[in-house]
C-alpha cells in the first residue's frame, strides 16, 4: 500500500492553447480542464490505475469538491479539517510544442493544529503501508523543517519513506542528513543543483555528473536517489550502483505530473520486487508516458512501455 501526503493540495486548471503564448495579448484557449491535484494526489491516482492500494491524506473539508472528486475516482481520501480559507488554485498554460507555464498560488496558511492532525493521521496509517510519500510544497505557516521532522517520526512505523519537495523544505532536509534521511529522494536537475553547487543545465545534460551529485546524498544516508533529468530520462543511485535510463522518443504534450509519474513508476517496480535497472526503466517509462498526455493526466499501465527504455550501467564508467 502507498500512503501519500499532500499538505498543500490544489485545484489544477490546465489551459491548452492552439498557438504559442503571447504576453499581453488576448488569446482563445482550445480547452480548460480542472482536476484535483498535488504531487501526492497524483501518485495516489497512478496507484489506483495500477491496482495498488493507496490512501491520500490531505487538508480539506470532507464535503469539499476536491475530496468528492478523489472519492469518485476511487481514491481512498482521508481529509483532515484545514485552517480557514479554501484550497489553492494552480494554473498551467500548455502550448502546442509542449512548453508549460505554471502559475501556482501559495495556499491557505496552515496552523499548528492542522499540521499536528496531518502528522497524526499519517503516523496512524503508516504501519500498514509499504511506502509513505511526502510530496509537494508546504503551505504558508509551515516550518521549513516539517518534512524532516516527519521522516524522523515515521522511522518507527516500518514503512519506507519517499520525499519529493523543493526550495527551503528540501534544503533543510538535506542539511539534517543523515538524521532525517528518507529511504528515497526524487530531485529533478534544478533541485539537485540547489544543494550540490553544480549548474542544473550541466546535470540535465550529463547523466554521469547527475549521478555523482546524487551520490552525495547516498553517502549521507539516503538509500535511493531517483533524479529526473527531463528529456534525458533519469538516473538512479544506490549504495550498490548507478544507472541512467533514456526514454523513448515521445511527442511532449505536457510535462506537468511527469515527475510524479516517474516516482510512482519506481515505487511500483519496488513493490513488484524488480531489480534496480528495471525499477528505473519503469520510472522513466511512466514519466515519458505522462509527458505525452495533456494537462496533469496520469498514465494508465497500458500506456507505459518500459521495454522501450534504454538503461546504462554507470558503475561501469567509474561513477
Q: How far apart are the first and last CA of the chain?
A: 33
According to the model, what pLDDT value does residue 278 have? 98
50-85 pLDDT tens trace: 999 999 999 998 988 999 999 999 999 999 988 777
Task: Count Cβ atoms below 10 Å from residue 182 Cβ, excluding itself.
Answer: 28
For residue 71, the surrounding DSSP H or E stretch is helix 65-72
According to the model, what pLDDT value does residue 49 have? 96
According to the model, what pLDDT value does residue 257 have? 85
CA distance 199 to 193: 6
Smallest Cα–Cα separation from 170: which of 3, 279, 39, 1? 39
* 167 given a catalytic annotation: no
Share of the chain above pLDDT 90, in %: 76
Asked if residue 108 lies in contact with residue 139, where contact means CB atoms within 8 angstroms, the answer is yes
Mean pLDDT value across residues 163-176 = 96
Whether the predicted pLDDT of 40 surpasses 90: yes
According to the model, what pLDDT value does residue 58 have? 96
According to the model, what pLDDT value does residue 319 have? 56
For residue 123, the surrounding DSSP H or E stretch is helix 112-126
Q: Could you tell me the pLDDT band of residue 100, with boundaries at 50, 70 and 90?
A: confident
According to the model, what pLDDT value does residue 317 have? 58
Task: Count Cβ atoms below 10 Å from residue 100 Cβ, excluding itself.
Answer: 17
CA distance 59 to 71: 15
Whether the predicted pLDDT of 318 surpasses 70: no
Domain with residue 307: its CATH number is 3.40.1190.20
According to the model, what pLDDT value does residue 281 have? 98
Whether the predicted pLDDT of 251 surpasses 90: no
- Give the pairing type, strands 160-164 and 131-135: parallel
Whether the predicted pLDDT of 241 surpasses 80: yes
Look up residue 247 and give its DSSP letter: P
218-231 pLDDT tens trace: 999 999 999 999 98
Whether the predicted pLDDT of 133 surpasses 90: yes
The total domain count for the chain is 1
User: Which is more confidently placed, 98 or 191?
Assistant: 191
Cα 152-153-154 angle, rounded to 5 deg: 95
For residue 131, the surrounding DSSP H or E stretch is strand 131-135
User: Which is more confidently placed, 6 or 197?
Assistant: 6
CA distance 6 to 124: 16
CA distance 89 to 99: 20
According to the model, what pLDDT value does residue 217 have? 97
CA distance 307 to 247: 10
Task: Count Cβ atoms below 10 Å from residue 97 Cβ, excluding itself.
Answer: 9
Task: Count Cβ atoms below 10 Å from residue 13 Cβ, excluding itself.
Answer: 18
- Give the pairing type, strands 29-37 and 184-185: unpaired
According to the model, what pLDDT value does residue 316 have? 67
Average pLDDT of the chain is 93
3-class DSSP state for residue 39? Answer: helix
Domain residue limits at 252: 2-20+28-317
Q: Could you tell me the pLDDT band of residue 275, with boundaries at 50, 70 and 90?
A: very high
- Catalytic residue from among 12, 64, 164, 260: 260
According to the model, what pLDDT value does residue 121 have? 96
Amino acid at each position: 500500500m502507498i500512503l501519500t501526503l499532500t499538505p498543500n493540495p490544489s485545484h489544477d486548471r490546465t489551459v491548452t492553447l492552439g498557438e504559442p503564448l503571447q504576453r499581453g495579448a488576448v488569446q482563445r484557449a482550445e480547452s480548460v480542464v480542472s482536476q484535483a491535484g498535488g504531487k501526492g494526489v497524483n501518485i495516489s491516482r497512478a496507484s489506483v490505475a495500477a491496482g495498488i492500494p493507496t490512501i491520500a491524506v490531505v487538508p480539506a473539508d470532507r464535503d469539499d469538491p476536491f475530496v468528492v472528486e478523489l472519492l469518485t475516482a476511487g481514491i481512498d481520501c482521508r481529509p483532515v479539517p484545514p485552517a480557514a480559507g479554501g484550497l489553492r488554485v494552480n494554473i498551467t498554460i500548455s502550448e502546442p510544442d509542449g512548453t508549460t507555464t505554471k502559475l501556482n498560488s501559495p495556499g491557505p496558511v496552515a496552523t499548528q493544529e492542522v499540521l499536528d492532525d496531518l502528522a497524526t493521521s499519517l503516523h496512524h496509517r503508516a504501519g500498514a503501508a509499504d511506502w509513505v510519500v511526502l510530496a509537494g510544497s508546504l503551505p504558508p505557516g509551515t516550518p521549513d523543517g516539517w518534512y524532516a521532522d516527519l521522516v524522523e517520526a515515521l522511522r518507527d512505523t516500518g514503512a519506507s519513506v519517499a520525499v519529493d519537495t523543493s526550495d527551503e523544505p528540501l534544503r533543510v532536509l538535506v542539511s539534517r542528513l543523515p538524521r532525517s534521511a528518507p529511504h528515497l529522494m526524487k530531485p529533478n536537475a534544478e533541485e539537485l543543483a540547489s544543494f550540490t553547487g553544480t549548474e542544473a543545465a550541466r546535470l540535465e545534460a550529463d547523466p554521469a555528473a547527475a549521478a555523482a551529485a546524487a551520490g552525495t546524498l547516498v553517502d549521507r544516508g539516503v538509500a535511493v536517489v531517483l533524479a529526473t533529468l527531463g528529456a534525458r530520462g533519469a538516473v538512479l543511485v544506490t549504495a550498490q550502483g548507478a544507472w541512467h535510463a533514456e526514454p523513448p522518443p515521445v511527442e511532449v504534450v505536457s510535462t506537468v505530473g511527469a515527475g510524479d509519474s516517474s516516482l510512482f513508476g519506481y515505487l511500483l517496480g519496488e513493490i513488484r520486487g524488480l531489480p534496480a535497472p528495471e525499477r528505473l526503466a519503469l520510472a522513466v517509462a511512466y514519466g515519458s508516458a505522462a509527458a505525452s498526455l495533456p494537462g496533469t493526466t496520469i498514465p494508465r499501465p497500458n500506456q507505459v512501455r518500459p521495454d522501450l527504455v534504454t538503461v546504462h550501467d554507470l558503475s561501469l564508467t567509474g561513477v
